[in-house]
Structures are given as structure tokens and as C-alpha cells.
Structure 1
């Protein structure tokens, strides 16, 4: 008779996500993952198969639970320039609240892009989603595609800055929000 799991899968994935987010994939040790999740080495491997498989789940969880709420207003059918401005202001608030780990997707891109095709595919998929959301919200503007490229680059730069200097990232997020509003005729 198989034993049932005595842990909350979502809680384990979230705990692992936070370890990977804070430290990166390579620097996240099995001991750190065990400590954060409360699972033994055998339970981690039995349930998730490998550190890499757990990372895949953690990265997907990050996109679904951390980034999707930021993107949702941009992806609504009636999204517009005001939602783009609100997106960047929401990031200023997010940084004010103490987020200093940057973006797990961007961190993954920097760390694994030459080592791992699956991670690269996930990063590129997310960046395409981000760009599409910006383009959708800027659709009333005749230069929506160009604006989407610029807004995506601004966002990625903003996130990279947040990992190094959260106070500067707050200022940049507010500046980008204002600049986006001007460019999009808000």
C-alpha cells in the first residue's frame, strides 16, 4: 500500500521557489531546499525527481503567482495605457514593500541561458507574454509594437536594478510610469 504525502505540495514549491529566487539555481543547495521545505532529501527526490525538476515547478509557480497578477490588468480585453502606467507604479509599490530579489525569470535568464534549453524556453515564453501584454494595452497607439519593445526593455532593466538598489528601482519605476503615460498619450 502506497503512503500518501504528508505535506502541502503548493507550500513546498513556494518554499523552494523562494530559495531559488533568493540564491539562484546553482547556489541553492539541497540542504537549503530541505530546510526551507521541511522535506528530507529522499522525499524531495521521490516527489519531484530532481533539483532541476523542482526548479521547473518553482519557476512556473513564480510566473503564475507573482508575475501573473501584475500582468492580468494588461491582458484584460479593455486594457489600455492607464494599465501600463499602473503596472509600473505597482512595481514601485512592490519594491517599497521590500522585494529585493529581482525577478526569478530574469535571474534565470542570466544564470542558465547557456546551460539549459528548457529554462531558456521558459524565459523567452515569459518575455513574449510580457511584450504581448504591453502591445495589447498600447494597441490604440499606432506605434504599439515599438512601445511594447521599449516597455519590455524598461521593465527588464527596472527588475535588474531592483536586485542591486531597491531605492533606485522605486525611483525608476515612477519615472517609467510617467514616461509611459507621456509616450502613450495618457
Structure 2
């Protein structure tokens, strides 16, 4: 019979998650993972197969306990009209808070900016699916907040807002003030956006 596992799987995954989140996949060495999880390399490999396998478990945990809960109010069938503004405000508060892990940005958006995303089809697919979730949630929030706009205007506004959200998540690790400005811009444009008169394009009122 194999030896029984004597550690808390979820606790190990979340300890590794915090390290990958703050340091990045490539930068998080196996020695740091041993220290963060209090497990030896042999135990980590036995439980997860590899560093890559541990990262997969981390991504599942991150989506379930961090990323998707943030979007929950926007993913309802009938979002509250203020849901998107609350999401933008809450994300901003997290990013500028000295004690928040969100100061490290988004685990998946950070991974998208590394060779891991270009080299690993599975990671690339997960990142693409998650960014699609953000765009879809923001689109629903725009529709609830701005029913005065036609479908094309809502769609263009949603692209603008979701791009600013993704920019903020990418900026947070290096420049939290710039990330906050991106989210402030998303909040402002959400309220001010107006279609141009007799034109196909759309613009925001300053």
C-alpha cells in the first residue's frame, strides 16, 4: 500500500498560489515552493507530478476562490445596474490596498505575459477562457447600467471597459497607481459614454 498523504492538499495549493501570484511561474523556484508549502520536492512531485502540475492545481483554486467570485454579481442572469461600478470600485480598492494579494495583479493575466503562455497550449487556453469571462461579465454589466444605449454602443463600451480592466490587472504588479487610474477611467467612461451623431463610430464625452 502507498503511504497515506499527511498534508492538507488545499492548504498546500493556496500556499503555492500565493507564491506563484507574487513571484510568477518562472520566478518561483522549487526551493521557494518547498519553503512556502513546507513540503519537500519529492512530496510535491508525488502529489502533483511536477511544478507544472502544481501550477494547474493553483489555477483551479485561483479561479474558484479569487477570480470568479469577483465576477459573481455580473454573471447573474439579471445583474444589478450598479454591479459593474461596484466591481470596478472593489477591484481598485484591492489593488491599492497594501495588504491585498491583488497588488500582484491577476495570476492568469501575469502568466499571459510570460513564455509559459506561448509554450503551453493548456495554459494559453485557460487564460483565453478567463479573459473571455471578464469580457462577458463586463458586457452584462454595461447592458444593465446603460440600457439607454443600443446594442452596438453597448458592445463598444464593453470592449473599452474590459480592456481597461485587463490593463489594470496587468499594470497592478508594477504600478498600482496606473492600475487604479485605468479602473477610474473605466468607471468614468461607463457613465459618460455617448454615441456620436450620425456616425458609425462611438466616443466618450470627456
1:159 corresponds to: 169
1:147 corresponds to: 157
Size of the alignment, in residue pairs? Answer: 184
2:19 corresponds to: 19
What residue ranges of structure 2 are gaps of 5+ in the alignment?
A: 195-206
TM-score between the two structures when normalised by the length of structure 1: 0.91
* Alignment partner of 1:121 out of 118, 121, 125: 125
Cα RMSD (Å)? 1.7
TM-aligned CA deviation for residue 176 of structure 1: 2.2
Aligned residue runs from structure 1 range 59-98, under 5 A: 59-98=59-98
2:201 corresponds to: none
Ranked by relative contact order (alpha carbons within 8 Å, sequence separation 6 or more), the top structure is 1
Question: Is 2:74–2:84's contact at 8 Å kept on the other side of the alignment?
Answer: yes
What residue ranges of structure 1 are gaps of 5+ in the alignment?
A: none
TM-aligned CA deviation for residue 182 of structure 1: 2.8
Runs of 4+ with >4 A deviation? none
Deviates more, 1:163-172 or 1:55-64: 163-172
Partner deviation per Cα, 1:154-177 (whole Å, 9 max, x = no partner): 111111221112133234323322
In 2, Cα distance between the equivalents of 1:113 and 1:36? Answer: 24
Partner deviation per Cα, 1:82-128 (whole Å, 9 max, x = no partner): 11111110011102322321111111111122111111000000011
TM-aligned CA deviation for residue 81 of structure 1: 4.0
1:132 corresponds to: 136
* Alignment partner of 2:182 out of 165, 172, 182: 172
